[in-house]
Amino acid sequence: MQASFFQKGVNVNLALFDLDNTLLSGDSDFEWSQFMIDKGVLSREVFEAKNVAFYEQYKAGTLDIFEFLDFQLKPLSQYPRTVLDAWHEEFMQTKIRPMMGDKARALVAKHRAAGDVCLIVTATNSFVTAPIAREFDIENLIATDPEEIAGEFTGRVAGTPSFREGKVVRMEAWLAERRWTWGSFFATWFYSDSLNDLPLLEKVAHPVAVDPDATLRAHAQQHQWDILSLR
């Protein structure tokens, strides 16, 4: 989508999608760690309890994102990228594609057919999520970026994590790079399940709570936001 579309006066919409427990009927971040544990790559004794604890903190809205990223990204630095990529394809086949439901695919297809600019905006790191975005046929992705040197991961995060208020920061930087603003679009949507996404939900004209957690459901009902199920 080029800036010239706006200059010609064409009404262009923006559709943003959270990924985990929104387009997916599960959490790709949590499942990636579980996948690595099941393969024996990560120690079950060391990692499984921490993975569950971090996931519960995320759902409760108490997650320390930098503490979590230290846990999540360090294992990426311990294996060559070619090995990680091969594992990821297996992960896509066994874990992710079964979580990609027909309703979620249809929602994305509806926005694409309308010519809307579509993005996935997710806290999960881009190594895990970039192939998932491609599977949904969404070319634009804002995700937490693992630091890379010469194509290999360092185990550290690069830039601002795409989490809570960080999603707004990253989204507005993405718009600015294209000389766009929120006002460049005729209508804007964001679909999410999580209380953690309230900062970005409150930036769009049409916030949609998708199979929401209890806090987001109550907020959506109070503010008369749409509530949708993709399950």
Residue 144 zone, left/alpha/beta (φ > 0; ψ -120 to 50; rest): beta
Is position 70 annotated as part of the catalytic site? no
User: What is the distance between the alpha carbons of residues 17 and 15, in angstroms, rounded to a whole number?
Assistant: 7
Query: Is residue 18 among the annotated active site residues?
Result: yes
Please state, in angstroms and rounded to a whole number, the distance separating the CA atoms of residues 36 and 108: 29
Residue from 18, 193, 197, 213 carrying the catalytic annotation: 18
Q: How far is CA 102 from CA 108, 110, 141, 177, in A?
A: 10, 12, 21, 33
The number of beta carbons lying within 10 Å of the beta carbon of residue 86 is 12
Buried b (16+ CB within 10 A) or exposed e, 197-228: bbebbebbeebbbbbbbeebbebbeeeebeeb
- Distance CA(50)–CA(134), nearest Å, equals 29
The residues that are catalytic are 18, 20
